[in-house]
């Protein structure tokens, strides 16, 4: 039997999200093996959003984490994660929520990003008023041009401002290069090294710890000096997009969606219960899901609760047949489900709550 098959799929209501804990553990092991020590990893939890997955990472010796929302930060604190970076520049009410979080969970060290003097000054005032001095990382623009400050005199001035402003304390540099997605490892390495060189030149003056990269450039940053922290996230579950795009990485799919045929459309098409609400729909239609037991199925239409696929003539499929799909983009797919059912030896054994899919937990 293939690794993904359920022994009693007829008992499972669909669409459903399933995860394979043993595969997750192996992916965590492989990530640690790549960097040489769990101390070099600062995994992003935006992929799994799960206390259970967090526990597996903690059990493997990982103590530093990265997240994108206050809810993800609180989920980590509830699991007693020692070190949590909110990889976001908190603006407006989010700053006050972060201050509340820091006070509520004193055993976790929280930090956040800054890339702008005005924003840094405003958040510092909020933190200082709350009696806090919050560690901050300078977010450096290494080419993605989404957030981050230019790695030159502008960044040096921001560092000096932060160092002199009550309420914040600059402790490191952060550079995310998610725009580098070349399938060719040599070309990806060249571009990654160019971006990283921008940070290292800046750091000749500052001498700060560096957090670098995401999943696509993980194998490149993993080979750097032992004091460079790597922050991939997708590796825990992996997905079809990264498996196709980066075959140099050894991770294995550990999260799938399960769907059923709910209608037959003529002689060649099937309708499945896998709509926009069940699989991340931001990619073009052919790049949303790939079926392990139906790789030839071609998606031709999707709505909120339905996915129509072309199966070809004489396909032999019947209403009720089960398909197992690998998401092309697993992170936003996880956010569509409140829980993932755990599968071991083909049997559903429990569930992992995707607690941090919500925008708030208690704050």
Domain boundaries, the chain: 9-17+254-357, 21-237
Residue-level pLDDT at 280 = 97
Mean pLDDT of the 288-307 span: 97
Residue-level pLDDT at 29 = 98
Residue-level pLDDT at 318 = 96
Average pLDDT along the chain: 97
Residue-level pLDDT at 19 = 98
Residue-level pLDDT at 94 = 98
3-state secondary structure 4-58: CCCCCHHHCCCCEEEECHHHHHHHHHHHHHHHCCHHHECCECCCCCCHHHHHHHH
Whether residue 80 is predicted with pLDDT greater than 80 in this model: the reply is yes
Whether residue 161 is predicted with pLDDT greater than 90 in this model: the reply is yes
Residue-level pLDDT at 251 = 98
Tens-place pLDDT, residues 125-151:
999 999 999 999 999 999 999 999 999
Whether residue 1 is predicted with pLDDT greater than 90 in this model: the reply is no
Sign of CA dihedral 301, 320, 293, 253: positive
Whether residue 262 is predicted with pLDDT greater than 90 in this model: the reply is yes
Q: Which CATH class is domain 21-237?
A: alpha beta
Q: Does domain 9-17+254-357 have CATH number 2.40.37.20?
A: yes
| Number of Cβ atoms within 10 Å of the Cβ of 167 | 22
Mean pLDDT of the 271-291 span: 97
Sequence-distant (6+) residues with CB within 8 A of 146 are: 176, 178
Whether residue 75 is predicted with pLDDT greater than 90 in this model: the reply is yes
Q: Are 27 and 62 in contact (CB under 8 A)?
A: no
Whether residue 238 is predicted with pLDDT greater than 90 in this model: the reply is yes
Residue-level pLDDT at 344 = 97
Residue-level pLDDT at 12 = 96
State percent of the chain over pLDDT 90: 99
Residue-level pLDDT at 245 = 96
Residue-level pLDDT at 101 = 98
Q: Are 208 and 172 in contact (CB under 8 A)?
A: yes
| Number of Cβ atoms within 10 Å of the Cβ of 334 | 25
Mean pLDDT of the 29-47 span: 98
Give 301's pLDDT tier (boundaries 50, 70, 90).
very high
Q: What is the DSSP letter of 91?
A: -
pTM: 0.97
List b or e across 31-58, with b for residues whose CB sees 16 or more CB atoms inside 10 angstroms. Answer: bbebbeebebbbbbbbbbbbbbbbebbb
Tens-place pLDDT, residues 87-121:
999 999 999 999 999 999 999 999 999 999 999 99
Mean pLDDT of the 38-56 span: 98
Q: Which two structure tokens, joined as six digits, stand for 69?
A: 């929302």
Give 47's pLDDT tier (boundaries 50, 70, 90).
very high
Q: Which two structure tokens, joined as six digits, stand for 115?
A: 């890339």
Residue-level pLDDT at 61 = 98
Nearest to 164 by CA among 198, 128, 139: 128
Sequence-distant (6+) residues with CB within 8 A of 162 are: 114, 120, 124, 136, 138, 168, 169, 170
Tens-place pLDDT, residues 181-237:
999 999 999 999 999 999 999 999 999 999 999 999 999 999 999 999 999 999 999
Residue-level pLDDT at 205 = 93
């Amino acid at each position: 039997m293939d690794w993904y098959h359920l022994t009693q799929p007829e008992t499972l209501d669909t669409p459903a999200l399933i995860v394979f804990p043993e595969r997750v553990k192996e992916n965590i092991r492989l990530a640690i093996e790549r960097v040489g020590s769990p101390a070099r990893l600062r995994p992003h939890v935006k992929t799994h959003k799960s206390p259970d997955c967090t526990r597996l990472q903690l059990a493997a010796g990982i103590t530093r984490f990265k997240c994108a929302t206050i809810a993800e930060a609180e989920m980590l604190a509830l699991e007693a994660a020692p070190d949590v970076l909110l990889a976001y520049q908190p603006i407006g009410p989010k700053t006050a929520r972060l201050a509340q979080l820091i006070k509520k969970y004193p055993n976790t060290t929280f930090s956040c990003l800054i890339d702008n003097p005005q924003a840094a000054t405003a958040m510092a005032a909020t933190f200082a008023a709350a009696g806090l001095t919050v560690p901050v990382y300078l977010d450096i623009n290494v080419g993605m041009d989404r957030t981050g400050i230019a790695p030159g005199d502008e960044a040096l001035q921001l560092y000096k401002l932060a160092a002199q402003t009550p309420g914040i304390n600059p402790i490191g540099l952060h550079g995310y290069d998610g725009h580098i997605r070349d399938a060719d490892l040599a070309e990806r390495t060249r571009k990654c090294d160019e971006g990283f060189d921008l940070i290292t030149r800046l750091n000749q003056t500052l001498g700060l710890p560096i957090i670098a990269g995401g999943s696509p450039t993980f194998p490149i940053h993993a080979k750097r000096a032992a004091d460079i922290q790597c922050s991939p996230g997708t590796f825990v579950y992996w997905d079809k997009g990264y498996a196709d795009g980066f075959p140099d990485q050894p991770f294995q799919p550990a999260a799938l969606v399960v769907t059923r045929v709910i209608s037959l459309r003529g002689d060649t098409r099937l309708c499945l219960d896998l709509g926009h609400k069940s699989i991340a729909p931001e990619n073009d239609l052919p790049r949303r899901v790939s079926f392990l037991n139906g790789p030839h199925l071609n998606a031709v239409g999707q709505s909120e609760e339905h996915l129509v696929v072309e199966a070809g003539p004489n396909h032999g499929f019947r209403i009720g047949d089960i398909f197992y799909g690998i998401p092309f983009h697993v992170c936003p797919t996880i956010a569509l489900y409140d829980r993932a059912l755990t599968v071991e030896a083909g049997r559903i054994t429990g569930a992992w709550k995707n607690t941090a899919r919500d925008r708030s937990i208690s704050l």
